[in-house]
Structure 1
Amino acid sequence: MNARRWLVLLVLGTLPAWGQEGGFAGLGSDVQGFALPDPARDLVFPRDHGAHEDFRIEWWYLTASLRGADGRDYGAQWTLFRSALSPEKTGTGWSVPQVWMAHAAVTTPESHHVAERFARGGIGQAGVTSEPFAAWIDDWSMRAPEGGDGLDRLTIDARGGDFAYALQAEAEGPLVLHGQGGYSVKGPGGQASHYYSQPFYRVSGRLSLPEGAVEVTGHAWLDREWSSQPLDRSQSGWDWFAFHLDNGRKLMAARVRGAEPFLFGSLIDPDGRVRVLDGDDIALRPGQGTPPMSWTVELPGEGLALAVEAVNPASRMTTSVPYWEGPVRVTGSVTGRGYLEMTGYPLD
């Protein structure tokens, strides 16, 4: 265990939802005392834009597929994770049993810049409010502008040792509920999360990189998800795709890896109508490599056959829990851009 990992554990105590050595496999560990997702629960906004502290794990996750004024492809990621050390809600200051972890990244065709932040709940260093919406850790923030309504407009800011970005996002479509009204099953054992997205952001802003500033435009996708045991004990990670297709449709498709792969997804029309997808609807075929840098994504019932290639194969998130996350190009029966996340693989 390296020095940074020791420091994290000393400051935060532990991150039980992730597991100290198993990484994403820890999401299948026991959840006694925590709340569980309920298929009968209706999501209510803006309330559900905020934190759900009776659940063990939660995230606010934005990925932006960008094109620079120089004509090149870029990507940006902003993520805030909340994890509960215990189901108790007592305490003040450092004794509040909520911990926060945040990741930010900028990807170019030649480089991948990563930063990570940590905070303890109860001291004001990190948090989320639902009305008006704001998510922050230190000087990183994703928030609605003054007078903003819900998640319709956001400003997104973060910086690391060798990069920074300032983006503005405006939604051009509705929120999307995945699965059964936002109740999203992740495996044959019935493990699930509450899961919704805003996939319709139009984005503009600036990336600050070692080689200089770049003005960018593009599309962004915000994922909101919370649960207490979203994986089965036999499941070790997932492959998640989010595409902005040039015909105006959006596609989320995912494979949770385990003894039997479990597939799910959503095909979203430009007006926000959703077709819920399962393993009979989706075929995901990896290319060579671990993790694979190319994929074929097919929806035979929709006549979709997509070839997916990483903008930068070296988009490894060299964070305390490592994973691969980066922008992709989409070709085939329809073109587009998007993001790919791959967790639970051995990374160099």
Structure 2
Amino acid sequence: MLLPLASSGVWTELDNWLAHVWVPSPGLVLAVYGVLVAIVIALALAAPPPHRLAYRAPYPVERPMKARLISNIRLFIITMLGLNSVGVIFTEGMERFEHLVCLALGALLLQLGHLDEVNAVQVEPVLEQLGDDPLERYDRWYASRWGVRPQAEANIARPQILRWHFSALALISLLHVTALLGYILLVHGASGVVQHLPIVLFLCLTSGYVSVRVVEAKMHANMLYRHNYGSRFESRFSHPETFVAYLLILTKLATTAAMAVLPLMWLNPTNSLYSVAYLGWLLVELLCLGGVLVALMARWGGRKTAPIQPLTGYDRDYMLYLRRKHAAKQRASIRGAVKYAAQHHTA
């Protein structure tokens, strides 16, 4: 949706903007999804090379490439939902019906969890790495890393996280809307506000949403890096969350650049004071976001041996939520591997 604004001018007319929004066809999206799933299934059924079986962490099975592909497929399904939602809005007729079908299919695939079942299917060389009491071994390792066993983690409910998320989104978007509409009102009056209101709201909501998601994605990437050092997942770039975090940072920079186009286009001696003030607001907002990311990196992203003591507020709640969710996923993977091992040896 930002591409037409970049190609035809950020402050184009609403009809011209909507006419140039392009969404990939549902057939193309489903074809890419089918290829990715086929690759994952092939990797799940193939034996890993011998050098990949070396024990380096308390995970019963380490298949970094397959794990990354599965995570990326989940991200692809979420992207598919977003693309099809846009397609439903900006298309009509049979194409809109196809997007609706693809949207329903994507929601169903996301709920089925079929990729976890594929991930649980392992071959004999990998099953030999399970050892005795892998769940207990994982719990002891988790306690040494975070200072608490997985079962004793605080239960932070998802609605609580969503309340924080939407509160931050509303606050940041409101600040952007107030600043931008105030600038347009000073430069072009009420007629300029009416003319550019839809695009103003779109850019401000996009900027607020991306700001919140940048912080959350960076916290997730930091947590996984700290969680996984000592294993083959140790590199920051071995999991897709880091890629998502940096992609969102670039999106934030692109959105801010789009919002800076207006004062640069309208800059003249008469409104230079207002234009410079608005550009200064955008710069201050970027610096504040950068400061938050640096603070998160210093707190959660280092190779510290002592467990981190949780703070209060969103920093504490979201990180505890991520830790508990990740631990539940790891323990489920271990239980699945143990169950498959028992069935394998019985057969």
Question: Shared fold (TM-score greater than 0.5)?
Answer: no
Give the TM-score range, shorter chain.
Answer: under 0.3
TM-score by length of structure 1 reads: 0.25
More RCO (CA 8 Å, sep 6+): 2
* TM-score (normalised: structure 2): 0.25
**Greater strand share, structure number:** 1
Structure with greater proportional helix content: 2
